[in-house]
Structure 1
Amino acid sequence: MLDTGTHSEDTAIGMNAHIATPSAIQNEQVQSDDCSILRLDCLMPFALGNTRKARNPAKYAELKSSIRQRGVIQSIVVRPHPEMHGMFEVIAGNGRYEASLELELETIPALIKHLSDAEAIEVQLIENSNREDLSLIDEADAAQRWLGFYEGDRQAAADRLGWGIRKLSERLELLRCSDPVQQALTNGEIKPAHAIILAPFSEKLQNGTLAKIIAEKWTVSQLKQKASTRQHYLVKAKFDTAQCSGCHSNTEAQAGLFEQDNHAKCSNPQCWGQKTQAWLDEQRALAEDKYGKVLWLNEIAVSDRNPVSASEVGQEQFQTGCTGCTSNVALMDNTDGREGIIVANQCLDKGCFAKCVKAQQSGSEPDAPTSAMTPSTDSASTSTTKSSSSAATQPVVTKKVAKKVNRKVQEIHRGALRDAAVGVLTTDVGFNQGVVLGLLCIKSGYKPPFKGWPTNAHGSDLFKLVQLTMAQEPTQVQAQIKDAIKHLAVESENKDRSGASGTVNHLMLNSLSALNNWQETAVAAWTPTKELFSAHTIGELTTIATESGFVAAYNTANGERAFTKLAGKGKGGLVKVMLEFEFDWSAYAPSTGYFDLVSPPVK
Structure 2
Amino acid sequence: MQQQPTVLLRHIKPGRNPRTYFDPKKMAELTESIRARGVDTPIIVRPLGGDDYELIAGGRRYRAALEAHGEDYPMPVSIRNVDDAEARIIALTENIQRDDMAPSEEAVAAAEIVGLCQGDRDEAARQMGWSRPVLDSRLALMNCTKAVLEALNTRQIKLGHAELLAALAKDKQDALLPVIVAEKRTVPELKKVIEAASCVLSSAIFDKSDCAACPHNSATQSALFGESIASGNCTNRACFNDKTEKQLEATAAGLREEFPVVRIVRAGDNNTRTQLAVDGANGVGEEQAKACHACQSYGVAVSGLPDSLGKIYRGQCFDTVCNMKKVAARINAEKAAAPATAKSDGRKPVAKSGGTAATPDGTNASVAVVAESDRVKTYRVALWRKALRRDIGNNSELARQYLTAIVLSGHSRQISDTAFRGFWERLTDEKPPVDDVAKAATAVQATSSEVQSNLLLAVTFAAIEGLDVTHLTQLCRHHKLDLKKHWKLSKDFLELITKSEMMVVADELGIRTALGDNFKKVFAKSKNDVIEALIAVEGFDYTGKVPKVLKF
TM-score interval (norm. to shorter): 0.5 to 0.7
User: Do residues 309 (structure 1) and 264 (structure 2) align?
Assistant: no
Cα pair distance change 1:340/1:523, threshold 3 Å:
farther
Q: CA deviation at 1:246?
A: 1.2
User: Do residues 538 (structure 1) and 499 (structure 2) align?
Assistant: yes
In the other structure, the counterpart of 2:461 is: none
2:232 aligns with one of 246, 255, 264: 264
Q: CA deviation at 1:144?
A: 0.6
Cα distance in 2 between the residues matched to 1:77 and 1:415 = 52
Residues 297 and 332, structure 1, Cα contact 8 Å, conserved in 2: no
Partner-residue secondary structure (3-state), 1:111? strand
Cα pair distance change 1:75/1:226, threshold 3 Å:
closer
Cα distance in 1 between the residues matched to 2:216 and 2:73 = 70
- Please, which moves more after superposition, 266-275 or 575-584? 575-584
Cα distance in 2 between the residues matched to 1:518 and 1:62 = 78
Partner-residue secondary structure (3-state), 1:158? helix
Residues 287 and 294, structure 1, Cα contact 8 Å, conserved in 2: no
Cα pair distance change 1:322/1:44, threshold 3 Å:
farther
In the other structure, the counterpart of 2:546 is: 588
Higher Cα radius of gyration: 2
2:144 aligns with one of 171, 177, 192: 177
In the other structure, the counterpart of 2:365 is: 401
1:338 aligns with one of 308, 328, 333: 308
Equivalent residue letter for 1:269: R
Residues 77 and 90, structure 1, Cα contact 8 Å, conserved in 2: yes
1:244 aligns with one of 191, 208, 211: 211
Q: CA deviation at 1:57?
A: 3.8
Cα pair distance change 1:248/1:128, threshold 3 Å:
same
Residues 176 and 200, structure 1, Cα contact 8 Å, conserved in 2: yes
TM-score by length of 1: 0.57
Residues 230 and 269, structure 1, Cα contact 8 Å, conserved in 2: no
Residues 246 and 255, structure 1, Cα contact 8 Å, conserved in 2: no
Equivalent residue letter for 1:266: C
- Please, which moves more after superposition, 99-108 or 242-251? 99-108
User: 1:81-480 to 2 correspondence within 5 Å?
Assistant: 81=48, 84-102=49-67, 103-104=69-70, 105-183=72-150, 185=152, 192-210=159-177, 215=183, 217-218=185-186, 220=188, 223-253=190-220, 264-287=232-255, 289-290=257-258, 292=261, 294=263, 296=265, 298-301=267-270, 308-311=277-280, 313=283, 316-325=286-295, 331-345=301-315, 348-349=320-321, 350-360=324-334, 362=338, 363=351, 366-368=357-359, 400-401=364-365, 409=373
In the other structure, the counterpart of 2:8 is: 39
Residues 184 and 190, structure 1, Cα contact 8 Å, conserved in 2: yes
Partner-residue secondary structure (3-state), 1:252? helix
Cα pair distance change 1:566/1:111, threshold 3 Å:
same
Gaps of 5+ in 2: 224-229, 339-350, 389-401, 411-467
Residues 122 and 132, structure 2, Cα contact 8 Å, conserved in 1: yes
Equivalent residue letter for 1:131: R
Q: CA deviation at 1:52?
A: 4.1
Residues 369 and 401, structure 1, Cα contact 8 Å, conserved in 2: no
Instruction: Please provide the CA RMSD for this pair.
Output: 5.3
Partner-residue secondary structure (3-state), 1:88? strand
Residues 285 and 330, structure 2, Cα contact 8 Å, conserved in 1: no
Q: CA deviation at 1:127?
A: 1.1
Cα pair distance change 1:229/1:123, threshold 3 Å:
closer
In the other structure, the counterpart of 2:524 is: 568
Cα distance in 1 between the residues matched to 2:378 and 2:83 = 26
Partner-residue secondary structure (3-state), 1:124? helix
Cα distance in 2 between the residues matched to 1:217 and 1:154 = 34
Residues 152 and 299, structure 1, Cα contact 8 Å, conserved in 2: no
Cα distance in 1 between the residues matched to 2:490 and 2:126 = 35
Partner-residue secondary structure (3-state), 2:167? coil
Equivalent residue letter for 2:207: D
Equivalent residue letter for 2:330: C
In the other structure, the counterpart of 1:10 is: none
Q: CA deviation at 1:107?
A: 1.9
Equivalent residue letter for 2:508: E
TM-score by length of 2: 0.62
Residues 148 and 162, structure 2, Cα contact 8 Å, conserved in 1: yes
Residues 523 and 589, structure 1, Cα contact 8 Å, conserved in 2: no
Residues 43 and 76, structure 2, Cα contact 8 Å, conserved in 1: yes
Equivalent residue letter for 1:96: R
In the other structure, the counterpart of 1:497 is: none
Cα distance in 1 between the residues matched to 2:491 and 2:24 = 58
In the other structure, the counterpart of 2:446 is: none
Cα distance in 1 between the residues matched to 2:274 and 2:246 = 27
Per-residue CA deviation, residues 260-308 of structure 1 (Å, 9 max, x unaligned), is xx96333333433333333334334445654535462743557995762
Equivalent residue letter for 1:547: E
Partner-residue secondary structure (3-state), 2:54? strand
Cα distance in 2 between the residues matched to 1:529 and 1:159 = 47
Partner-residue secondary structure (3-state), 2:218? coil
Gaps of 5+ in 1: 1-13, 18-34, 257-261, 373-399, 433-504, 599-603
Residues 31 and 64, structure 2, Cα contact 8 Å, conserved in 1: yes
In the other structure, the counterpart of 1:461 is: none
Per-residue CA deviation, residues 5-56 of structure 1 (Å, 9 max, x unaligned), is xxxxxxxxx43x4xxxxxxxxxxxxxxxxx522233443345xx34444444
Cα pair distance change 1:91/1:527, threshold 3 Å:
farther
Cα pair distance change 1:577/1:307, threshold 3 Å:
closer
Q: CA deviation at 1:147?
A: 0.9
Cα distance in 1 between the residues matched to 2:289 and 2:106 = 37
Equivalent residue letter for 2:250: E
Cα pair distance change 1:265/1:575, threshold 3 Å:
same
Cα distance in 1 between the residues matched to 2:109 and 2:236 = 34
Residues 277 and 289, structure 2, Cα contact 8 Å, conserved in 1: no
Residues 328 and 346, structure 1, Cα contact 8 Å, conserved in 2: yes
Cα distance in 1 between the residues matched to 2:243 and 2:56 = 45
Equivalent residue letter for 1:359: A
Cα pair distance change 1:101/1:43, threshold 3 Å:
same
Q: CA deviation at 1:242?
A: 0.9
Q: CA deviation at 1:247?
A: 0.5
Equivalent pairs counted in the alignment come to 441
In the other structure, the counterpart of 1:397 is: none
Per-residue CA deviation, residues 211-235 of structure 1 (Å, 9 max, x unaligned), is 5556374553x54454343344433
Cα distance in 2 between the residues matched to 1:234 and 1:122 = 42
Partner-residue secondary structure (3-state), 1:152? coil
